[in-house]
Every structure is written in structure tokens, then in C-alpha cells.
């Protein structure tokens, strides 16, 4: 029983420390609103929900399907796109879906390198590597803290990747999606990992990846 008390104490101390006594500067650990937190702790929290219609694996999921479709509809309307799927629970899982859909093992993708802010899922040490993809680093302009468009376009023309991957774990400015998309083979898929800036994109205060040429946006469920 004393261990349970210790766990409760630690949780309470964590809540007090991180919510009231800290200035949190980790963008991927955004503050959840009281309203969102209230419903995050609802009965949905521990329920399984797989597939839909006659293929569904679990009973008792009618409201889960209803809210899932409502969320998909909200995203379709916001981004004026015919398709949205809110089921991937993390950016890495969403990226895995993109790699599975657009590539086969042995294909090449181009993404930022780890030193320039890339998420590990787009590298040989992450989901891309697990898929059997060869990930080549984009050129990066350290002074501008952004992608080097000219040299990256030349690299794309040379290696002919299946995917050009935008977005990162650490970046300060909108990325040159349009500038690169307009100059590369239209058969190359452009994917934008928006996990760390999705709230800014949704709120129309960053950039609009789909309007600028991205074929797909991936994101997570808990950052912004």
C-alpha cells in the first residue's frame, strides 16, 4: 500500500512541478487544455477500436467509430482534401504508413539529417531503415536554418528518390515545399511530417503544406 501512496505522491509532484513551476520550452510537450484533458480521461481512453463496419474486431465501439469519422471530417474540411485518417497514434506510425504506401524495400528517400533536425523515423535508424529504405540527407543551409533548395534539387534529380520528406523534430521556419516541388519530377511523392508544428499549421499561422505541393501530411496526436 505504501508503494501506491508513493506513486500517487510522485504523480502529484510531477503535476505541480511541470504545470505550475516550470517554463516548458519543449514544443512537442504542449499543454493540454482542461477541456481536452477532461475527455482524454473518459471511457474512450482504454478502449480498442480496429477496422470498421463488418470487419471490426471489437464490440461496443459504435461511439468510437462515430467520433473517429467526425474527426476525419473535420480534417478533410480544414485541409480541403478528400481523405483524412486520424488513427495513427504517433508521427512515426503515420510515417510508417506513408513509407508502406509509397515505397518498397530498397527504394531511396530524401530527408533532413539528424544534425539538422530530422526525426529519427525518416533515417536509417528509424522506420525508414526498418522498411529497408536508403535515406539520403538533404542539403542544409546552417546560416539560414533551412533547406538548401538549389543543392537539394540537384540531389533529387541525381538520385531520383521515391519520397522527398519535409518536416522535422526541430525547425524554426516554414520549409521550401513549393520551391522544391515545382522543380522535381511530379512522380516523386512529397510527404510533410507536421508532427511538431501541426497546431500552428491547423491554426493557419505557419505554412500550408498541401497547398504548396505536398501529397501527404503526417502528424501525431499529442504535440501541438
Same domain, 145 and 176: yes
Tens-digit pLDDT profile for residues 78-112 = 999 999 999 898 999 999 999 999 999 999 999 99
Same domain, 121 and 104: yes
Domain range spanning residue 104? Answer: 88-218
- Burial of 95-123, coded b for 16+ CB within 10 Å and e otherwise, reads bbebbeebbeeebbbbbbbbebbbbebbb
pLDDT band at residue 17 under the 50/70/90 scheme: very high
Helix, strand, coil % (nearest 5) of the chain?
A: 40, 10, 45
Same domain, 59 and 93: no
Beta bridge partners of 137: 111
pLDDT above 80: residue 205: yes
Query: What pLDDT does residue 34 have?
Result: 86
Same domain, 70 and 119: no
CB-based contacts of 100, cutoff 8 Å, min separation 6: 131
Query: What pLDDT does residue 7 have?
Result: 95
Helices (H) and strands (E) in the chain, counts: 8, 7
Q: How far apart are CA 75 and CA 61, in angstroms?
A: 21
pLDDT above 80: residue 150: yes
Query: What pLDDT does residue 30 have?
Result: 72
Same domain, 68 and 108: no
Question: Would residue 169 count as lying in a domain?
Answer: yes
Query: What pLDDT does residue 50 have?
Result: 78
Q: Count structural domains, the chain.
A: 2
Same domain, 57 and 108: no
Query: What pLDDT does residue 201 have?
Result: 94
Q: To the nearest whole number, what is the mean pLDDT of the chain?
A: 92
Question: Would residue 26 count as lying in a domain?
Answer: no
Query: What pLDDT does residue 125 have?
Result: 92
Same domain, 180 and 95: yes
Tens-digit pLDDT profile for residues 152-191 = 999 999 999 999 999 998 889 999 999 999 999 999 999 9
Query: What pLDDT does residue 203 have?
Result: 92
Same domain, 200 and 105: yes
Using only C-alpha atoms, the chain has a radius of gyration, in whole angstroms, of 20
Residue 12 has a CB neighbour count (10 Å cut-off) of 10
Question: Would residue 19 count as lying in a domain?
Answer: no
Same domain, 104 and 56: no
Q: How far apart are CA 42 and CA 13, in angstroms?
A: 23
The model carries a pTM of 0.90
| CA 199 distance to own-chain centroid | 11
Question: Would residue 27 count as lying in a domain?
Answer: no
Which of 12-26, 42-56, 131-145 is the least confident region?
42-56
Question: Would residue 28 count as lying in a domain?
Answer: no
Same domain, 142 and 79: no
Among residues of the chain, what percentage have pLDDT more than 70?
97
Question: Would residue 139 count as lying in a domain?
Answer: yes
CA quadruple 38, 42, 45, 51: dihedral sign: negative
Q: What is the mean pLDDT of residues 121-146?
A: 95
Same domain, 98 and 187: yes
Query: What pLDDT does residue 52 have?
Result: 66
pLDDT above 80: residue 21: yes
| CA 97 distance to own-chain centroid | 11
Amino acid at each position: 500500500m505504501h508503494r501506491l501512496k508513493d506513486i500517487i505522491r510522485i504523480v502529484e509532484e510531477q503535476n505541480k512541478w511541470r504545470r505550475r513551476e516550470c517554463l516548458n520550452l519543449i514544443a512537442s510537450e504542449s499543454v493540454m487544455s482542461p477541456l481536452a484533458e477532461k475527455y482524454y480521461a473518459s471511457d474512450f481512453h482504454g478502449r480498442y477500436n480496429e477496422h470498421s463496419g463488418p470487419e471490426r474486431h471489437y464490440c461496443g465501439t459504435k461511439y468510437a467509430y462515430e467520433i473517429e469519422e467526425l474527426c476525419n471530417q473535420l480534417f478533410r474540411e480544414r485541409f480541403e482534401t478528400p481523405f483524412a485518417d486520424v488513427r495513427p497514434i504517433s508521427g512515426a506510425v503515420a510515417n510508417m504508413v506513408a513509407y508502406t504506401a509509397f515505397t518498397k524495400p530498397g527504394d531511396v528517400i530524401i530527408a533532413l539529417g539528424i544534425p539538422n533536425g530530422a526525426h529519427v523515423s525518416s533515417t536509417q535508424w528509424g522506420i525508414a531503415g526498418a522498411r529497408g529504405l536508403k535515406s539520403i540527407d538533404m542539403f542544409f543551409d546552417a546560416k539560414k536554418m533551412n533547406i538548401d533548395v538549389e543543392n537539394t534539387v540537384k540531389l533529387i534529380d541525381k538520385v531520383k528518390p521515391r519520397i522527398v520528406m519535409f518536416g522535422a523534430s526541430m525547425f524554426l521556419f516554414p520549409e521550401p515545399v513549393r520551391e522544391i516541388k515545382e522543380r522535381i519530377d511530379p512522380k516523386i511523392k512529397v510527404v510533410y511530417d507536421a508532427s511538431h508544428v501541426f497546431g500552428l499549421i491547423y491554426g493557419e499561422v505557419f505554412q500550408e503544406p498541401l497547398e504548396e505541393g505536398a501529397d501527404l501530411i503526417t502528424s501525431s496526436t499529442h504535440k501541438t
